[in-house]
Amino acid sequence: MQAAVKNRIVRNERRFSRSSPFAFLRNAPHFARRIALGLVLVAAAWLAACSSTPKRPAEIFSSRNMAETYLEVATKDTDRGSYDAALDTLDEARRAAVGADDPSLRIRTALLRGNILFYKGDLEAAEAEWQQALAEAEASGDRELAARSRIHRGWGTLMEAISRKEGPQVAQAVRDAVNRDAAQLKKDTEGVAFGNMVIALAEKELGRAGEAEAAARKALAIHDKGNYLEKAAYDWYIIASIRSVAGRHADAQKALDEAIAFDRRAENAAGLAAEWRARGDVHTKAGSAALAEEAYTRSREIYATITE
């Protein structure tokens, strides 16, 4: 995939080759080269204006389109749990974003990279990526991406606290901060969905199941409408977890039915393995040992296809 996408990059490596009319500039001082080239380009533009040559585009998007493509692929890999592949793709996305000097692409690449590093357990590196994204968003005056960056940091804070069994201690502060930042997102619907999912997780930690599911359903509505199959599956997975914690085991299984249906459509083996394992956990809580073992077996079978 990466080789195919790379072939679309427009390169001009022979610009100062020995056969080039600009070869005499190779050894000239930097400013002299810039001035000389500027004069040549002005003359070329004047000649072009006097000819029948088609007008040149006002703006070129090759590198930016390339970065967007890489970001889309990396996001898909992340949703499927293929973190190493996603990081490799993000290296290419970052290279294209830096080359184009596009703040938005640089920021969004850093945010996704931070999430993946967090999933892999490198909390310090993840925080560094999120902080870099926030600093660049603030420096460029992009309020929406600054808000999105703070939401990612809030998610990391909450998830780290949950891993230490300290979720309730930070959940309210995270929920309030993310709610304020999500209100600033006008065009970033995926950021709104992500913010709602963070709020859902915070509400769950606070024991407010109704509010938690309501927030998760807001994220689900966005993902379902946009055909983000893996993300919609994850939303249902979280809804199942919320219901299970509240003791609503039958309703949790119904949510898992929906999650499995979405991940089957996406052929997302990693998601399906997690959902069948969750189904086993819910059966275990409900006292159905035989059904739980069937679900665990199904999960192991699916997981084996990923690791083979």
The counts of H helices and E strands in the chain are 14, 0
> Of all helices (H) and strands (E), which one includes residue 137?
helix 123-140
Judge whether 91 and 77 are in contact, CB under 8 Å: no
Asked whether residue 61 carries a pLDDT value surpassing 80, the answer given is: no
Asked whether residue 134 carries a pLDDT value surpassing 60, the answer given is: yes
Instruction: Name the percent of the chain lying above pLDDT 70.
Output: 80
> Which pLDDT belongs to residue 90?
94
The mean pLDDT value for 105-128 works out to 95
At residue 64 the predicted structure's pLDDT band, cuts being 50, 70 and 90, is confident
> Which pLDDT belongs to residue 265?
97
The mean pLDDT value for 156-167 works out to 96
Asked whether residue 274 carries a pLDDT value surpassing 50, the answer given is: yes
Asked whether residue 56 carries a pLDDT value surpassing 90, the answer given is: no
Asked whether residue 1 carries a pLDDT value surpassing 70, the answer given is: no
> Which pLDDT belongs to residue 307?
75
Judge whether 77 and 89 are in contact, CB under 8 Å: yes
At residue 18 the predicted structure's pLDDT band, cuts being 50, 70 and 90, is very low
Judge whether 130 and 153 are in contact, CB under 8 Å: yes
Asked whether residue 189 carries a pLDDT value surpassing 80, the answer given is: yes
Mean residue pLDDT of the chain comes to 85
> Which pLDDT belongs to residue 32?
42
Angle at 184 between CA 183 and CA 185, to 5 degrees: 95
Asked whether residue 209 carries a pLDDT value surpassing 60, the answer given is: yes
Asked whether residue 6 carries a pLDDT value surpassing 60, the answer given is: no
The mean pLDDT value for 48-54 works out to 50
Q: Which of 116, 175, 102 lies closest to 145 in space, CA to CA?
A: 102
Rg (CA), the chain: 25
Q: Which of 250, 271, 252, 249 lies closest to 261 in space, CA to CA?
A: 271
DSSP per position, 38-99: HHHHHHHHHHHHTSSPPPPPS---HHHHHHHHHHHHHHHHHHTT-HHHHHHHHHHHHHHHHH
- Which DSSP letter does residue 278 get? H
pTM: 0.77
The mean pLDDT value for 108-114 works out to 96
First and final CA of the chain: distance in angstroms?
Answer: 21
Range name among 40-44, 110-114, 185-189 with the lowest pLDDT average: 40-44
Residue 2 has which token pair? Answer: 């990466």
Range name among 11-15, 28-32, 137-141 with the lowest pLDDT average: 11-15
Q: Distance between CA 9 and CA 292 in Å, rounded?
A: 51
Residue 185: alpha-carbon gap to chain centroid: 16
Residue 2: alpha-carbon gap to chain centroid: 18
> Which pLDDT belongs to residue 54?
59
Q: Distance between CA 13 and CA 271 in Å, rounded?
A: 44
Asked whether residue 156 carries a pLDDT value surpassing 60, the answer given is: yes
> Which pLDDT belongs to residue 57?
56
What are the structural domains of the chain? 2-49 (no CATH), 62-266 (1.25.40.10)
Residue 110 has which token pair? Answer: 């850093």
Judge whether 255 and 239 are in contact, CB under 8 Å: yes
- Which DSSP letter does residue 25 get? G
More reliable by pLDDT, 5 or 149: 149
> Which pLDDT belongs to residue 19?
39
